[in-house]
Amino acid sequence: MTKTHALGLAITLAGVLALAVALSAQYFGGLSPCALCLIARWPYRIAIIFGVLALILPPRYGRYAVWLGCACFLADTAVAALHVGVELGWWKSPLPECTAPSLAGLTGADLLAALPDKPITPCDQPVYLIPGVKFSMAAMNLVYAATLSLALLRLLTDRKKS
């Protein structure tokens, strides 16, 4: 297995692991994702595609897929950093879904009509995977995505032939 193919496999497995943890926390752990959480899943989905491409393409072309997979992890690092900043109150979320709607001037019937089908989790309230440990899912994602990005960048810029 070439270095490019190995990196493609690593990207694929890293993306699958991230999505597996997020979906398990949602469906088996009962944690409800916010809008930023849902957006943070997309770079992993796209990285999986690039990882598979790096696995099936010849190394000469697969290397481009590995770089694009790394870009996906960098994009997720940015989304996670934005989310952590929102949780810590450093800035407001740019997504309208993350803020509570204005209810001023609405009648009781209007309020009932405006209720969503299922509860919406606000982006500024941290969700903790491990009870008692004040390290949010967004913070875990930030550490994970940043570590993946830095490791891939290090391996991609290594002078050894792939």
Q: Note the pLDDT of residue 112.
A: 55
Q: Does residue 27 belong to any structural domain of this protein?
A: yes
Token readout for 15 is 């993306």
The number of folded domains in the chain is 1
Q: Note the pLDDT of residue 127.
A: 82
Mean pLDDT per 10-residue segment, the chain (162 residues): 93 97 91 90 97 95 96 97 92 75 59 54 82 88 96 86 51
Question: How many other C-beta atoms can be found within 10 angstroms of the C-beta atom of residue 93?
Answer: 19
Q: Does residue 114 belong to any structural domain of this protein?
A: no
Q: Does residue 44 belong to any structural domain of this protein?
A: yes
Contacts of 21 (CB under 8 A, 6+ apart): none
Q: Does residue 112 belong to any structural domain of this protein?
A: no
First to last CA, the chain: 10
Q: Note the pLDDT of residue 108.
A: 66
Does the predicted model carry a pTM greater than 0.85? no
**Domain range for 126:** 3-94+120-156
Q: Note the pLDDT of residue 125.
A: 84
Q: Does residue 111 belong to any structural domain of this protein?
A: no
Q: Note the pLDDT of residue 124.
A: 85
Q: Note the pLDDT of residue 119.
A: 53
Residue 22: half-sphere exposure toward Cβ, Cα within 13 Å: 22
Q: Note the pLDDT of residue 94.
A: 87
Q: Does residue 161 belong to any structural domain of this protein?
A: no
Handedness of CA 23, 148, 50, 71 (dihedral sign): positive
Q: Note the pLDDT of residue 118.
A: 52
Q: Note the pLDDT of residue 95.
A: 81
Q: Match 């390290």 to its residue by tokens.
A: 135
Q: Does residue 53 belong to any structural domain of this protein?
A: yes
